[in-house]
Amino acid sequence: MALFSVFQTTFLLALLSLRTYQSEVLSEPLPWAPESLRVFINSTHQCLHLQWSVHNLAHHQELKMVFQIEISRIKTSNVIWVENYSTTVKWNQVLHWSWESKLPLECAKHFIRMRSAVDDAKTPKQSFWSNWSSWEEVHVQNSLGHDPFFVFPKDKLVEEGSNVTICYVSRSQQNNISCYLEGVRMQGEQLEPNVSVFNLNHVAFIRETGTNIYCKGDQGDSIKGIVLFVSKVLEEPKDFSCETQDLTTLNCTWDPRSDTGLLKQLSQSYTLFESFSGKKTLCKHKSWCSWEVAPESQEMYNFTLTAENYLRKRSVHLLFNLTHRVHPMAPFSVLFTDVSATNATMTWKVHSTGNYYTLLCQVELYGEGEVIQHNVSVEVDGKQLFGGLEPDTEYRAQVRCANANHFWKWSEWTRQNFTTTEAAPSEAPDVWRNVKSVQGHSVVTLFWKPLSKLQANGKILFYNIVIENLDRSSISRLLSIPAPANGTELNLDQCLYQIHVTANNSVGTSPASVIIVSGDPGNKEVEEERVKGMEDGFSLSWKPQPGNVTGYIVEWCDHPRGPLCDLQWKSVGPTTTSTVVSSDAFRPGVQYNFRIYGISTERVPYLLEKKTGYSQELAPSDNPQVVMSNLTSRSFTLSWKDYSTESQPSFIQGYHVYLKSKAGQCHSGSEKAVLSDDAVCCKYKIDNPKQKTFVVENLQPESFYEFLVTPYTSVGEGPHGAFTKVTTPDEYSPILIRIILPMVFCILLIMIICYLKSQWMKEKCYPDIPDPYKSSVLSLIKSKENPRLTIMSIKDCVPDSIEVLNKQEGTRKSLTETESSKATYLYLLPTDKSYSGPGPCICFENFTYNQAASDSASCGHVPVAPVAPPSQLGLLTSPENLLKALEKNYMNSLGEIPAGETNLNYVSQLASATSGDKFSLPTNPPEPALCSEYKMQMAIPLGLASPPSSGSSSLSSVTLLDEGEHYH
């Protein structure tokens, strides 16, 4: 135990002595401490460059040393960077070190110091540092101007995806400043009272001209900004490869990837370095570079391609054998010889690449969608024979070559075209016909399809048509139709004809196509069947024929609605009973009609079946034009007979009749329907598409209705357009119309007849001046011996007197025996020659028209002293008795009276003569008080007049007095 205490005391004493020694050593300065430390600022790159030296080194002495560098920000205690920099120090050498700050140097003060230590094996091991140098302060803000604030860094260049710090420095601590990145406000943190920083992480490339960053105060009186240049990341070149075509020059190519060029920075540059020869060249292009092959026949090459820009470098390597990278040049002098309709020979030449190289050439021939390939070994010249070619066909031949020993790449293609010569057509034309009977003749339209290029074997010049009359074998004719016509029209009689059609080119004639045409068109009536179209056309099938047939023809029109039908047909074999008809002209909503014909062994076509359908049915696009008729108070009739179902975009299955009413009640035969506008109406369904009339019944009188007729198909119905309005009449309107219309018609007819016969009516009923020759009463008095006695003539009248011969006794009748209505009386007054007094007016009543004397002019006479008493006057008779006597006595006994005794001559109808001869007119007649009015003129038999009392007088005056005026 005592021994252990002795050893422990000895160890503690030794340790204490060692620590005392170390303290003494450390208190001595290191002889190689850094001195003359200087700091330089590079604001463009935001770098601090340090420069110092180490003294006390012997001449030509080199010493490995470590320098520890500390960098503080804002204050010395805030150390932000510590780095150990190792280097070999020489005598009287100035050392350099650079540090790039992430924060712009203008944003804060920085402090730098360093110390050193020896790390050299030639000197004793020293595990301690020298003393720190004094702090070097870097304060860039002192060199700024007098602007209110500043934004840093200026025109900084970074790679895409980098982190960038932005700051602004304000002269005043009271300014509120906001900063924006491409118009978007940034959120920052305050570094000092007048400094704020903004950290941008993973900045993106926006444009080559840079990204805009600016700051402005709240008052907006000052705006400061910078441009941050963001470059795309420099990528490693891809697909780096080198090859030769002539073993004298190497061509190296690569994919440069993204271009890192900016407005501030040029694009990346490329350098090619070959390690075996130690040569280096700067490439002038971004994607390829040339390298001269060494004349000493170097076969192995090791290239390094370096891409470099302002920020970084990228490199790729390539090691290869020159003889394995031979890419031959394209063949040349390609020629074709011995070209015929089916054969051709091709020759070409290749570029020499040395005496020991054999090339493998590949030849390809393109023609009519077919490719023929051949491989040929070539040293100098190549040759290839092509057989089995098509006549009059253009071919394209191409050839390329490669190194046969060490294949690297094919050369570029060398191409050349050639055309084979023509040959006679190999196939007969596909012929069809359309026959129409017109006035006892057959109009035959022949159609034929142009031969395909493979069938024509050249350009078709014309078509020959031979028409042979089979009923008269000696009669035939030839027609020549120039190409490119595909049809012609023939006028034939009712005989049987055989028609041959051939196509001709410059070499020869095709086989003939034969068709038989008879007077019967062969279009018998067959039932039409509906078919449904598909995406690729119409699938048609028909029943096989029991007899021998040579084939079938399917006929249709590509444009059935157009002015030109564009007739098409398809021929199939005799064992085929179905086919698919397709055409690029088929359109949805168009009805196509197909006719299937059988071709007999005599080559006579006959109709088998008819089919119709749509490639795609569509809903009707329009509604029929409806005409309303037979409108009654309880019903009306709708008709749309002009609506064509064949021109519709689908098969019409029937019609829907929609009826709207205010009551909204639907009767039997209809159902309620809701339209697209939520209107409720009654719907009647017509299942027969041929029915184009409909009677709407069970209506109410004097009610308002609306109707619409629309067709419906398997894909929908017609549009719900505007409804037609109608109002039913009341129940009695038709009855009144049936009565009023005939009455109006009759009245109009009577008015028209009266208007057309107005002149006749006037003459018969109310003439202006009666015609004495048209007296209906006198026409009853007819004399067999002297018919003129019935009509008085002016030349037979003697003015102012009536001469009576063979006077007879007559009895006077009382004036009161006459009729009471305006009766007039006939008096005979003496007209003695000695009588000199004025005579009365004479007035005769018109017995023909039975008109009374005019109210405005009555007959009168001038008052005179009577010469004889009234008893001497002879009263003849009243007008009614006179008429009866005329009809009775004159007609029956005229022949028994002597002619001289019945003669009465009318002299005048105005006034009696005052004196003179009975045939003489008075020279000074008195003027009557009233003018007499003419009424009638007639012959009066003397037997009807009473003789006057004076027998000596042979003449009497006849005076017709007014009503109530007579003698006593």
Tokens of 169: 């420095």
Q: Considering only 211-220, 466-475, 932-941, which range has the smallest mean pLDDT?
A: 932-941
Q: 884 or 157, which is more confident?
A: 157
pLDDT of residue 834 exceeding 70: no
Distance between CA atoms of 585 and 578, rounded to whole angstroms? Answer: 21
Q: What percentage of the chain carries pLDDT values higher than 70?
A: 74
pLDDT of residue 10 exceeding 80: no
Give the Cβ contact number of residue 67 at 10 Å.
23
Distance between CA atoms of 738 and 748, rounded to whole angstroms? Answer: 16
Give the per-residue pLDDT at 364.
95
Apex 933 CA angle, 930 and 939, nearest 5:
130
Pair 93, 60: CB distance under 8 Å:
no
Cα–Cα distances in angstroms (integers) from residue 685 to residues 17, 657, 670, in the given order = 128, 6, 7
Q: DSSP string spanning 648-708?
A: SSS---EEEEEEEESS----TTEEEEE-TTS-EEEEEEE--TT--EEEE-SPPTT-EEEEE
Please state which architecture CATH assigns to domain 626-735. Answer: Sandwich (2.60)
* 778 Cβ neighbours under 8 A, 6+ residues apart: 790, 791, 792, 848, 938
Pair 81, 41: CB distance under 8 Å:
no
Could you tell me the residue ranges of all domains in the chain? 35-142, 144-231, 238-324, 332-420, 431-614, 626-735
Distance between CA atoms of 889 and 382, rounded to whole angstroms? Answer: 154
The radius of gyration computed from the CA coordinates of the chain, to the nearest angstrom, equals 71
- Reference 656, options 691, 628, 613, 629; nearest CA is 691
Give the per-residue pLDDT at 471.
83
Query: Alpha carbon 619 to chain centroid distance?
Result: 19
Give the per-residue pLDDT at 87.
92
pLDDT of residue 792 exceeding 70: no
pLDDT digits (tens, 9 = 90+) for 511-553: 999 998 886 666 677 888 999 988 889 999 999 888 788 899 9
pLDDT of residue 257 exceeding 80: yes
What is the phi-psi region of residue 169: left when phi exceeds 0, alpha when psi lies from -120 to 50, beta otherwise?
beta
Q: DSSP string spanning 894-941?
A: GGGS-TTTT-EEE--SSB--SSS-TTSPPSSPPPPSS-----------
Q: Do domains 238-324 and 332-420 have the same CATH topology?
A: yes
Cα–Cα distances in angstroms (integers) from residue 701 to residues 334, 603, 628, 633, 923, in the given order = 98, 70, 17, 4, 90
* 311 Cβ neighbours under 8 A, 6+ residues apart: 157, 158, 159, 231, 234
* 158 Cβ neighbours under 8 A, 6+ residues apart: 164, 203, 228, 229, 230, 231, 311
- Reference 381, options 351, 413, 339; nearest CA is 351
Query: What's the CATH fold of domain 238-324?
Result: Immunoglobulin-like (2.60.40)
* 583 Cβ neighbours under 8 A, 6+ residues apart: 537, 558, 568
- Reference 580, options 619, 613, 546; nearest CA is 613
pLDDT of residue 947 exceeding 60: no
Helix or strand or coil: residue 944? helix
Q: Per-residue pLDDT averaged across 88-112, rounded?
A: 91
Pair 114, 133: CB distance under 8 Å:
yes
Cα–Cα distances in angstroms (integers) from residue 916 to residues 189, 537, 934, in the given order = 165, 127, 24
* 353 Cβ neighbours under 8 A, 6+ residues apart: 245, 246, 247, 326, 328, 359, 403
Give the Cβ contact number of residue 54 at 10 Å.
23
pLDDT of residue 464 exceeding 90: yes
Distance between CA atoms of 268 and 270, rounded to whole angstroms? Answer: 7
Question: What homologous superfamily is domain 35-142 in, according to CATH?
Answer: Immunoglobulins (2.60.40.10)
Q: 26 or 113, which is more confident?
A: 113
Question: What homologous superfamily is domain 144-231 in, according to CATH?
Answer: Immunoglobulins (2.60.40.10)
Distance between CA atoms of 178 and 196, rounded to whole angstroms? Answer: 10
| β-pairing verdict for 211-217 and 693-696 | unpaired
Q: Is the peptide bond before 620 cis (omega within 30 degrees of 0)?
A: no
pLDDT digits (tens, 9 = 90+) for 849-858: 443 433 433 3
pLDDT of residue 28 exceeding 60: no
Q: DSSP string spanning 332-382?
A: EEEEEES--SS-EEEEEE-----TT--EEEEEEEEETTEEEEEEEEESSEE
What is the phi-psi region of residue 36: left when phi exceeds 0, alpha when psi lies from -120 to 50, beta otherwise?
left
Strand partners, 374: 363
Q: What percentage of the chain carries pLDDT values higher than 90?
A: 40
Tokens of 350: 């290749």
pLDDT digits (tens, 9 = 90+) for 899-927: 444 444 444 444 333 333 434 344 444 44
* 445 Cβ neighbours under 8 A, 6+ residues apart: 433, 434, 435, 436, 487, 488, 489, 490
Give the per-residue pLDDT at 894.
42
Distance between CA atoms of 407 and 567, rounded to whole angstroms? Answer: 59
Give the Cβ contact number of residue 657 at 10 Å.
19
Pair 704, 727: CB distance under 8 Å:
yes
pLDDT of residue 29 exceeding 60: no
Tokens of 690: 């041929």
Give the per-residue pLDDT at 11.
55
Distance between CA atoms of 265 and 273, rounded to whole angstroms? Answer: 24
What is the chain's length? 968
Computed over every residue of the chain, the mean pLDDT equals 78
Distance between CA atoms of 652 and 618, rounded to whole angstroms? Answer: 11
pLDDT of residue 399 exceeding 60: yes
* CATH class of the domain comprising 431-614: mainly beta
Q: Band of the pLDDT at 793, cuts 50, 70, 90? A: low
* pTM of structure: 0.47
Please state which architecture CATH assigns to domain 332-420. Answer: Sandwich (2.60)
Give the per-residue pLDDT at 774.
54
Q: What is the 3-state secondary structure (H, E, C) of 804-833?
A: ECCCCCCCCCCHHHCCCCCCCEEEEEECCC
- Reference 932, options 954, 956, 905, 965; nearest CA is 965
* 926 Cβ neighbours under 8 A, 6+ residues apart: 838, 839, 862, 911, 914
Give the per-residue pLDDT at 180.
92
Q: 437 or 843, which is more confident?
A: 437
Q: Considering only 237-246, 286-295, 755-764, which range has the smallest mean pLDDT?
A: 755-764
Most confident of 55-59, 263-267, 320-324, 825-829: 320-324
pLDDT digits (tens, 9 = 90+) for 175-220: 688 899 998 999 989 888 889 999 999 999 998 888 999 998 877 6
Q: DSSP string spanning 533-563?
A: EETTEEEEE-PPPSS-EEEEEEEEES-TTSS
- Reference 907, options 801, 790, 795, 794; nearest CA is 801
Give the per-residue pLDDT at 125.
61
Give the per-residue pLDDT at 709.
94
Residue corresponding to tokens 């002019």: 857
